[in-house]
Structure 1
């Protein structure tokens, strides 16, 4: 090595921490901490574990991450089998209650459950951004009470509109004064839902719905009622077609995205109840 050239492992711990803050939890847990003692020491800082994004990690026992993580932990506490829950607890401990963003795995239902959400409600009180896992209707009933614990919550993303939507927004209105972004991956937005959004979270800046059902009337209620709205997304939705009136209302927004949305689907229509829709 050239004389005078500084090595990465010789950097001060606070400098390494600033670098590691940009790493994902996968690289922090099974990468940086294995290089040398100084890197491991820096990777233990809670500052590195403020953003806990588990969405794209493969937790299957035969996956590469499971092998890397088990090898890294073998000396301290052997893990016979990696599970999402065991890694969640590991990452949350490292954060020392300082996590501000947490995203559950985006896989099928069962990877994470309501017990995991309860765990982070107790151990991550400073969350500002939360992406919930896919939950059963019975599990969804407990979400409003848990959301009430996150007074700093700004953004909530869900796999679908929950069956307790009204109660959820009520708790957000009472307890989350900085709330500004609501995103859902499916569900039917009724007239009552739209009015509830504008009355309980009128300062919403970002509304997102994908693969759901929303009519023009409900869209206009949200667009007109949420005066601070800057981002509106209704991607691959059914129930409306963008027309001149909608385009006029969207003028001045940072993002208005209605890609793939249409008034109806093929030759079929929509069967719906209060919470779920099915495209025929």
Structure 2
């Protein structure tokens, strides 16, 4: 009898390594899910190959050239396919790797060009900014921009600062649902420094806004991830906007992100979405539509690896 292996609706399998709150969507299906899973899978493959190469250099006889292990023997139970939890089926998907770096998004004829560089976090600008008082967990505030800001073909004079590490146009976003690529691209036009479950209400510092004729800067200063105990990891980063449409994301003191999305999006699921690795993207590469990377420090199911492992011995 021929058997069919179906993946109907696999939500994220998470072995919690932190206590950051996530209101999880039961079915993880959305338009850009396949790109998100492919990018995270490629990241895991690179990590596994690098680990094998280190083992090869340290242990004579290890797999040559970083070749991944062969498939394990088939071990099904009747009509139930059993996939061993090994060789990357479950692992850390994409650790945050932008600390002390700066991402620049520059408008171009075909969309935006992306560059990554060294640390440019502007401490003076953060110190000169005005604290957004009483900004709570899952909260949002509206601000007037000091200039007309062009973004994906539209111009805006108002912007929303959302506590969860992002700026939006047209409307704020204070929902508590998953900070996923699907929500990132499907919601309002968005600029995300660290779209994560952040809680400024328990920060000794908070979120600061500096607005002048030549720039608009929002700084999250030692803002923790949400935690039931109030002791989540602290994050410090900036989003900087300029009159010519440039966007800069600068990081300074971001140890890890349990689950977060970084990038820019036109909103409303418009156009294509490029789910990429910023540090592995060529300088000045141009993208049309949303540009994002999704980070996670949790142990999760690599759906692509699970599918490959199934077909290796079925």
TM-score by length of 1: 0.23
Larger radius of gyration: 1
Larger fraction in helix: 1
Larger fraction in strand: 2
TM-score by length of 2: 0.21
